[in-house]
Amino acid sequence: MKIIDSYLRIAVQSILLALPLLFAPLVVTQLQSELGLGLINTGVAYAQEPAKKKPRDTRRTPALRNKVYEKLSDAQVAAEEKDYVLAIELLDDMREQGGKRALNSYELANLWNLYAFIYYSQEKYGDALSSYEQVVKQENIPLAMEINTRFTIAQLYFVQERWEDGIKALKQWFALAETPSASAYILLGQGYYQIKEYDRALTNVKIAVDMYKAKDKVPKEQWYALLRFLYYEKNDIDAVVGVLNELLHHYPKKQYWVGLSHMYSEKKMESKQLAVMETAYVQGMLTKDKEQLNMAYLYLGGDVPYKAARVLATGIKDEIVEKTSKNLEVLGNSWRQAQEVKKSIPIMEQAAAKSKKGELYARLGNIYLDNDQYGKAITAIVKGLKRGGVKRADNANLVLGMAYFNTKQYSKARKAFKVAQKDKRSKKFADSWLKYMRSELNRQKKLAEG
């Protein structure tokens, strides 16, 4: 599903790492805030363990010495000024020191964290990932630091589209995190979506959505979109309908009205399908040729031809619906079904003139005959038969015969009926008309003689 793929790529690639100052919070872009996928990592140096709701493992974290802090700050200043070469040199120099000046595990963790930021700023994601992995390899670092770094590692795997590695890293993070956020469950769900493990993806996305609802928060639109896709993959149409109704409640957009209409179509609930599409139409959401044509067909299927005609007439007038022979034909037929024959005839004339085949002229001949316009009926049917492509030439000849008969062109009428008589589908009617015509001519002859 392209929309979801694009969303996930943007959400992960838009990660903005803060310069890892000892006191600096992580800067999160507006996009991250909207998507709920900002990094949890808050910098390099972490306070000792914050208060926990339940007992956690106790770690004796070494202290961060002042001289080391000052050198890390110098490297940070260089990184802020985008002098990455100098920043790397300062960090390399610190890492190579031995003896009493050798860095302890907590200092090394901060050092690698700054390396990671510099590499990420240069879009060297592989090096950034390796640096973060060095952070979590250090012993006795604060648990909060390990938790946040592991989440960052998972995100960087997703940046590189290493979905399975990202899932594995994220599950390690879940094992440590005390209260995973809804965004974390969404990220895991998206990872499973990418490797097509849709059942696991659905489980995690549902957890995230339910977490938001439990707090009276509106789940992100993209979360609903992914949930909708996953339910559709399971062919759970009722669940898809439910998701679409929630989307329409919180994010009323044309695509969701149209999608809901399609779902009702799959459930063979034509009246609801029509009602949903009509709601979108009256809101002015259906602005494309195919959308308005579909609306007209739904009206016709729902036995509301007058509304179908109004939709098409307005669409053609507004130059949204193309004025093709086919579209004009549907409009003409709609007016005719709505008993608006005077409106139907000129439209059908336009449709027939635009058509390369004679079928529409044959139909137009029927309309003329029904309205006692026998001369026009003759002209239309003759033109149609000459042009060719009439589906029921036998029926067209029957109508032509009737038109000739009503204009007292009996020899031409007889000829048309004889042609229709050759087709078994019209033979019975042609025989009846020929018999009736003989009777009528005899009656007229006797009247003349009398």
Q: Is 54 exposed, middle or buried (0-12, 13-18, 19+ CB in 10 A)?
A: exposed
pLDDT digits (tens, 9 = 90+) for 17-69: 333 434 232 222 222 333 334 333 333 333 333 334 445 567 788 888 999 99
- Tell me the C-alpha distance between 234 and 262, whole Å: 16
Q: Which residues of the chain have pLDDT under 50?
A: 3-4, 7-54
Two tokens, residue 13: 């690639």
- Tell me the C-alpha distance between 115 and 78, whole Å: 12
Distance of alpha carbon 397 from the chain centroid:
50
Two tokens, residue 165: 């590695």
Two tokens, residue 74: 């110098």
Query: CA dihedral defined by 442, 448, 449, 450, rounded to 10 degrees?
Result: 110
Contact 360, 327 (CB under 8 A): no
Nearest Cα neighbor of 348 from 375, 384, 315 is 384
**Size of the chain, expressed as the number of residues it contains:** 450
pLDDT digits (tens, 9 = 90+) for 90-119: 999 999 887 777 899 999 999 999 999 999
Nearest Cα neighbor of 300 from 265, 267, 324, 335 is 335
Buried b vs exposed e over 281-303: b needs ≥16 C-beta within 10 Å? Answer: beeebbeeeebbbbbbbbbbebe
- Tell me the C-alpha distance between 17 and 151, whole Å: 13
SS3 12: helix
- Tell me the C-alpha distance between 242 and 257, whole Å: 12
Which secondary structure element, helix H or strand E, spans residue 30, and what is its range?
Answer: helix 30-35
In CATH, the architecture of 1-44+58-178 is Alpha Horseshoe (1.25)
Give residue 444's pLDDT: 86
Two tokens, residue 368: 């003329």
DSSP 52: -
